[in-house]
Amino acid sequence: MNLEVIHLGVDRLRATSGQRWALSTLAVGATAAASLVSAFVAADGGSAQNPIFVVATIVIAVGLAVVAVGVPDSQTALVVMVVLSLQWWVMTDDPTSAWAVPVAICLVGFHALVALMAGAPPSTVLAPAVLWRWAGRTLALAAVTVAVWALAVGLRHWAAGVAVVLVGLATLAVAGFLTVPLSVRARDDR
């Protein structure tokens, strides 16, 4: 029984396309980068500077990312994003720091990569048109992420309730603005 499971796992690894290995490497790399940026911020004066905690969170995040790319249609990717978000929250004193942008972009990239991999078996090689469309949508989402961060930084001196409402409305407006042209274009491509 155990040998059958091992043989099935080895066969699955052998059947994995080179493209899937590249996408998996990018996803794990994005997780490692986000975790390392958080650790850098902690070392540069953040609130949590215990090296054991820093190393443990990096190892946990990267280990979970490896599991998430191995089984992209599971909930493990969500756990990775929660771990990275908690790591950022615990290690930094200023949530609107400029270092939040690369961490958020890494989270966007990780999520987009895992979502892309969940849509096809590991042996599949996706067409270049699919990858270009995916990359364009991911870059648009990254741009929205930066815009929302800039808005949050600009509004942080206002009353907290007003700033939260304005950031939420701006996020919904930008997301709606981006979603409509993408959904119309997707219908035209069929």
Contacts of 102 (CB under 8 A, 6+ apart): 33, 34, 37
Output phi, psi for 121, to 5 deg.
-65, 160
Q: Which residue has the higher pLDDT, 175 or 1?
A: 175
Structural element, H or E, at residue 126: none
The answer to whether 36 and 106 are in contact (CB under 8 A) is no
Encoded amino acid at 132, one letter: W
Around Cβ 128, how many Cβ atoms within 10 Å? 8
Is 117's pLDDT higher than 80?
Answer: yes
Helix 18-43 × helix 51-70 angle, to 10°? 160
Give all strands (DSSP E) within the chain, no chain letters: none
Tell me the pLDDT tens digit for each residue of 143-157. 888 888 887 787 776
Percent of residues, the chain, with pLDDT higher than 70:
81
Q: What is the mean pLDDT of the chain?
A: 82
Is 65's pLDDT higher than 60?
Answer: yes
Q: What is the pLDDT of residue 123?
A: 84
Distance CA 170, CA 135 (A): 23
- pTM of structure: 0.78
Q: Which residue has the higher pLDDT, 11 or 22?
A: 22
Q: What is the pLDDT of residue 161?
A: 67
